[in-house]
Amino acid sequence: MKLTKGETVTVQTLSGKEVTGEVFSILDNTVIVLCGIDKYVVKKQQLKQQGYSFSKIKRPAFSVVH
């Protein structure tokens, strides 16, 4: 199942605490989970083990101006 912003998940944070919250941001290797007013960092690998998948992160084209 693809994980998107706004979905509710229960997962263990990097500090070892289990939290239930809303996906706030999906980054390269981590996900930020919003639980009340607190935000927690979660490894994507933790969520992949629960069966979640992720869309490829789209980055803007990099340009160098000389």
61: in domain: no
Residue 33 lies in a domain: yes
What total number of domains does the chain contain? 1
| Domain annotation covers residue 15 | yes
Q: Reply yes or no on whether the pLDDT at 1 is more than 90.
A: no
Is 16 part of any domain? yes
Residue 62: inside a domain: no
Q: Is residue 55 part of a domain?
A: no
Give the confidence band of 16 by pLDDT, cuts at 50, 70, 90. very high
Question: Tokens 């229960």 correspond to what residue?
Answer: 10
Q: Token pair of 60, please?
A: 């803007």
52 vs 62, higher pLDDT: 52
Q: Is residue 1 in some structural domain?
A: no
Q: In Å, what is the CA distance from 60 to each residue of 17, 18, 46? A: 34, 34, 27
Q: Looking at residue 8, what is its pLDDT?
A: 96
| DSSP element (H, E) containing 48 | helix 44-49
Cα–Cα distance for residue pair 47/26, rounded to 1 Å: 11
Residue ranges making up the domain that contains 35: 8-49
* pLDDT 10s digits, 31-61: 999 999 999 999 999 999 999 998 877 766 6
